[in-house]
């Protein structure tokens, strides 16, 4: 695609917060597609920033925004609107007991900041553990438990944050197994057991909380084995800490169930949601039990920001939930995810660049390697393949893992059609072939 001339203004006036911007400006978006100013359309298999759960500019979202414009957009932090109250109640309906008290916020980073503040206030401790390759945000506290990106060059992180090895079977962090070889033993959670042994060896700094994603998305779509979150909950609670589950990228159906933690049969102490609740608008929430809320309020909990409990995004959140529930999108994500996964597995039989395919529902990772035996990350070829997809009309996201950048994180809207999945697979097929052929010349 030709570079939009207006991008010269972007070069002059925008801080480059990513390695590079797309060479075009988006004019409009709808469903699984975006259009540039020249009318070219691009199939968006990233759901924006994994936020457009029900597709771009869904009519229910547009309707909710218009209605809010006729009612109220913003209020003082101590004033409440009907939308905020109803959204908190709706979240309580979707989540298992006793998770029934919510604070409505702006971003996933903020929701995780609040979750950690709650855990510290409730336990009287300050130590928080996160998983290697995790992503929980880039504000100060959230960045301290984000181990995939954004750590270098910013000075010391928040005191008391520690890391546990991630259950990355394809590149086992404790060299216990070779999870990428067909027929080998699955991940046995040795990384978790050994990580916690090391963590608890420091008896002078007891644990306030552990924070984890059901699937580590931005860190390379690392899919923990069944029972991982359940065991993490056991170890955390045995140490006197609270379990925080970050559902920013996995909640509201993406993994094939309403929430990812449901697949391990657990109830976290604290749940955070964000991206997938807003349908493209900024909204987040931190949800806890009434007992935990009583405890922190008694200890003086306060969180007053400019946009806490804003009516407009709350109205949109209600619309998103209505669509997810009403159209049975978790079930649809499971079915469409199976189709996507089958297609990717077939591509892997023909493209040696594909070293591993993993994930759940409509959150799938494709790890690209230059050698299937050594598993050398295909950083350069991965970037070229991603660019090749975009030039053919498919927007793909390549994410970081273990210091490399060679995992496609595939996350289309939950409303994606079979034809759109098949088209995306065809473009990936052509792009991988073209990149390999070019490299061989």
13 in the Ramachandran plot: left (φ > 0), alpha (ψ -120 to 50) or beta? alpha
Q: How many helices (H) and strands (E) does the chain have?
A: 14, 15
- In angstroms, the CA 75 to CA 118 distance is 24
Residue 400's pLDDT is what?
A: 65
Averaged pLDDT, 115-127:
97
In the chain, domain spans: 7-54+328-440, 61-326
What is the mean pLDDT of the segment spanning 133-140?
93
Per-residue buried b or exposed e for 240-268, using 16+ beta carbons within 10 Å of the residue's own CB: ebbbbbbbbbbbbbbbbbbbbbbbbebbb
The whole-number pLDDT of residue 185 equals 58
Which one of 131-135, 143-147, 248-252 scores highest in mean pLDDT? 248-252
The strand pair at 207-212 and 242-246 is best described as parallel
The end-to-end CA distance of the chain, in Å, is 23
d(CA 361, CA 198): 33
What would the mean pLDDT of 247-269 be, rounded to a whole number? Answer: 98
Half-sphere exposure of 328 (CA within 13 A, CB side): 5
pLDDT, residue 17, reads 87
Mean pLDDT across the chain, nearest whole number? 93
**3-class secondary-structure state, position 262:** helix
Between 151 and 214, the more confident residue is 214
pLDDT on residue 207: 94
Query: Residue 393: what are its φ and ψ, rounded to 5°?
Result: 100, 25
More confident of the two residues 203 and 207: 207
Least confident of 141-150, 168-177, 244-253, 327-336: 168-177
- Specify the 3-state DSSP secondary structure of 85: helix
Percent of the chain with pLDDT over 90: 83
For the segment 99-118, the average pLDDT, to the nearest whole number, is: 97
Instruction: Specify the higher pLDDT residue, 28 or 400.
Output: 28
pLDDT at res. 181: 47
pLDDT confidence band for 182 (50 / 70 / 90): very low
Q: Which CATH number fits domain 7-54+328-440: 3.90.1150.10, 1.10.357.10, 3.40.605.10, 3.40.630.30?
A: 3.90.1150.10
Residue 2 CA, chain-centre distance (Å), reads 31
What is the pTM for the complete model shown?
A: 0.95
Strand, coil or helix: 238:
helix
**Res. 353: pLDDT tops 90:** yes
The position carrying tokens 């008391």 is 160
Average pLDDT over residues 213-225: 95
Do residues 91 and 294 make contact, with C-beta atoms less than 8 angstroms apart?
no
Euclidean distance between CA atoms 307 and 414, whole angstroms? 28
What is the band of 178 on the pLDDT scale with cuts at 50, 70, 90? low
Helical (H) or strand (E) element with 285: strand 284-288
Sheet holding 404-410, edge to edge: 354-360, 363-368, 404-410, 397-401
pLDDT tens digits, one per residue of 364-423: 999 999 999 999 999 899 999 999 999 999 999 998 655 567 999 999 999 999 999 999
Average pLDDT over residues 55-84: 95
Q: Is the peptide bond before 98 cis (omega within 30 degrees of 0)?
A: yes
What per-residue confidence (pLDDT) applies to 5?
86
Two tokens at 168?
């990355």
Q: Is 153 helix (H, G, I), strand (E, B) or coil?
A: coil
Sign of torsion, CA 255 138 279 283? positive
What is the rounded CA–CA span in Å between residue 396 and residue 412? Answer: 9
Could you tell me which of 245, 206, 273 has the C-alpha nearest to residue 53? 273
61-326 is classed CATH 3.40.640.10: yes
Q: Which two tokens stand for residue 402?
A: 């273990």
Contact indicator for 245, 95 with CB cutoff of 8 Å: no
User: In whole angstroms, how far apart are CA 320 and each of 21, 58, 105, 281?
Assistant: 28, 9, 16, 11
């Amino acid at each position: 695609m030709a570079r939009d001339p207006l991008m010269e203004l972007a070069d002059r006036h925008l801080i480059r917060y990513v390695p590079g911007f797309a060479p075009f400006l988006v004019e409009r978006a709808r469903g699984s597609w975006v259009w540039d100013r020249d009318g070219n359309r691009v199939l968006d298999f990233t759901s924006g920033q994994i936020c457009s759960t029900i597709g771009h500019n869904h009519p229910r979202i547009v309707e909710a925004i218009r209605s809010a414009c006729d009612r109220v957009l913003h209020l003082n932090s101590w004033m409440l609107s009907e939308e905020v109250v109803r959204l908190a109640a709706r979240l309580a309906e979707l989540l298992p007991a006793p998770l029934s008290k919510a604070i409505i916020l702006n971003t996933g980073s903020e929701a995780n900041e609040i979750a950690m503040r709650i855990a510290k206030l409730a336990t009287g401790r300050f130590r928080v553990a996160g998983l290697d390759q995790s992503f929980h945000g880039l504000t100060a506290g959230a960045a301290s438990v984000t181990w995939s990106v954004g750590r270098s060059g910013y000075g010391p992180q928040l005191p008391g944050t520690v890391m546990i090895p991630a259950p990355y079977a394809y590149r086992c962090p404790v060299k216990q197994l070779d999870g990428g070889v067909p027929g080998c033993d699955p991940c046995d959670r040795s990384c978790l057991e050994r990580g916690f042994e090391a963590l608890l060896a420091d008896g002078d700094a007891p644990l306030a909380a552990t924070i984890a994603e059901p699937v580590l998305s931005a860190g390379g779509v690392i899919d923990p084995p069944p029972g991982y979150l359940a065991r993490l909950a056991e170890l955390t609670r045995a140490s006197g800490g609270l379990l925080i589950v970050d559902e920013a990228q996995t909640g509201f159906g993406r993994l094939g169930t309403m929430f990812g933690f449901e697949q391990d049969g657990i109830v976290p102490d604290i749940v955070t949601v964000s991206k997938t609740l807003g349908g493209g608008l900024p909204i987040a929430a931190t949800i806890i039990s009434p007992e935990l809320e009583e405890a922190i309020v008694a200890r003086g909990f306060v969180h007053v920001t400019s946009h806490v409990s804003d009516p407009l995004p709350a109205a949109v959140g209600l619309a998103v939930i209505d669509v997810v529930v009403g159209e049975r999108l978790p079930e649809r994500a499971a079915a469409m995810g199976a189709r996507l996964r089958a297609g990717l597995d077939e591509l892997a039989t023909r493209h040696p660049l594909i070293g591993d395919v993993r994930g759940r529902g409509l959150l799938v990772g494709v790890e690209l390697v230059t050698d299937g035996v050594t598993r050398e990350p295909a950083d350069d070829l991965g970037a070229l393949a991603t660019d090749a997809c975009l030039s053919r009309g498919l927007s793909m996201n390549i994410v970081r893992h273990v210091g490399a950048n060679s995992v496609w994180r595939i996350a289309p809207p939950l409303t994606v059609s079979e034809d759109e999945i098949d088209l995306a697979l065809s473009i990936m097929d052509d792009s991988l072939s073209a990149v390999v052929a070019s490299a061989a010349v």
